[in-house]
Amino acid sequence: MKCQFCNCQNSKVLDSRASPENNSVRRRRECLGCGKRFTTYETIESTPILVIKKDGSRQPFDIMKIKKGIIKACEKRPVSLNQIDEISSSIEKEFQNAMAQEITSDEIGEKVMDKLKILDEVSYVRFASVYRQFKDITNFIKFLDEL
């Protein structure tokens, strides 16, 4: 952090204060060159993830939408809300860790299916049938055969 008074590169931190409301840390520093004091703010860079829909339009990634879809698929199944929470937040984390800025709705659907498949087969089939919008029964049967 360059001192604004003398351009010296070295400073020491006198005080750090987190301000939770905007996810930043405020640091009071003292320049080791000229001794003047200044304040810096550190923030976490968060890039919103955009979802590309089938028609090419984009909208912000919304974890709640994924969760709702999973809840619907798991209706009356022995799947707890906790497990649904875990699935949706692990999907969110995977996309964040991949540093993806744009993902397709297909990628989300595939990930949800991967996880549901392990958790509960009936929910998985329900989700897949809505998600893949089987146009005819033959496709659907073919899909079931591949299970």
List of residues contacting Zn ion (CB under 5 A)? 3, 5-6, 8, 31, 33-34
CB of 29 to Zn ion, least distance (A): 10
Nearer to Zn ion, 8 or 100 (CB): 8
- Tracing tokens 């750090």 back to the chain, one arrives at 16
C-alpha 12/C-alpha 17 separation (Å) is: 15
Which helix or strand (DSSP H or E) is residue 71 part of?
helix 63-73
Nearer to Zn ion, 8 or 122 (CB): 8
CA torsion, points 13, 15, 21, 22, in degrees to nearest 10?
-20
CB of 8 to Zn ion, least distance (A): 4
Nearer to Zn ion, 35 or 78 (CB): 35
Closest CA to 91 of 124, 72, 116, 71: 116
Nearer to Zn ion, 3 or 73 (CB): 3
C-alpha 27/C-alpha 40 separation (Å) is: 5
CB of 2 to Zn ion, least distance (A): 9
CB of 17 to Zn ion, least distance (A): 22
